[in-house]
């Protein structure tokens, strides 16, 4: 019988033979906290994470469209610019820097990404991301949630 559990195993979630440096591609990325802990309840840490995300997106050649920092994970919608670095470099650099800021490991190993297809509408994905705090019962209206923002 095949064991499908991947916990603790070194297995990439990235698509084989896919160019994660393609300019113009949009991605919905989700990064979870280490052990699923609700680490993002501290305004100071949240502010540093958001600032770092914005800066890393610029440095690595991506347009940050929308983000939502939930207590135990982060959603981002980004689009690659023509001269961007690989998506894994962006996420790895961002996670490494924010771990140093926090003085401890705050992110899980790896991340989940959804490559948006041409027929997927960015606004629908952005709506999904921004409504995450409402679905989680953190607020009644998404405008009440401080850690989500549309940037373009």
What are the domain boundaries of the chain?
A: 26-150
* pLDDT (0 to 100) of residue 121: 81
Using CA atoms, how far residue 61 sits from 10, 55, 56, 116, 151, in Å, is 28, 10, 8, 18, 15
Mean pLDDT over each residue of the chain, to the nearest integer: 87
Number of neighbouring beta carbons within 10 Å of residue 123: 12
DSSP one-letter string for 60-87: TTEEEEEEEE-SSEEEEEEEE-TTPPPH
* pLDDT (0 to 100) of residue 39: 94
What band does 42 get if pLDDT is binned at 50, 70 and 90? confident
Q: Residue 2 pLDDT > 70, yes or no? A: no
Rounded to whole angstroms, the Cα distance separating 92 from 51 reads 16
* pLDDT (0 to 100) of residue 72: 97
Q: Residue 60 pLDDT > 60, yes or no? A: yes
Structure confidence by residue, pLDDT tens digits, 91-146: 999 999 999 999 999 999 999 999 888 767 889 999 999 999 999 999 999 999 99
pTM of the model: 0.84
- Across residues 23-29, what is the average pLDDT? 87
Cβ atoms 80, 57 nearer than 8 A: no
The third-level CATH classification (topology) of the domain covering 26-150 is Alpha-Beta Plaits (3.30.70)
Q: Residue 20 pLDDT > 70, yes or no? A: no
Q: Residue 41 pLDDT > 60, yes or no? A: yes
Q: Residue 3 pLDDT > 70, yes or no? A: no
């Amino acid at each position: 019988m095949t064991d499908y559990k991947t916990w603790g195993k070194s297995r990439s979630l990235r698509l084989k033979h896919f160019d994660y440096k393609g300019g113009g591609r949009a991605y919905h990325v989700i990064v979870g906290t280490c052990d699923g802990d609700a680490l993002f309840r501290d305004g100071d840490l949240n502010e540093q994470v958001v600032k770092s995300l914005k800066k890393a997106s610029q440095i690595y050649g991506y347009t940050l469209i929308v983000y939502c920092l939930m207590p135990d994970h982060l959603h981002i919608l980004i689009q690659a610019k023509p001269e961007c670095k690989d998506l894994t470099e962006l996420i790895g650099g961002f996670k490494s820097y924010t771990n140093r800021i926090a003085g401890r490991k705050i992110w899980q190993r790896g991340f989940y990404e959804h490559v948006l297809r041409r027929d997927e509408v960015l606004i629908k994905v952005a709506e999904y991301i921004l409504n995450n705090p409402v679905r989680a019962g953190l607020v009644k209206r998404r405008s009440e949630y401080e850690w989500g923002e549309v940037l373009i």
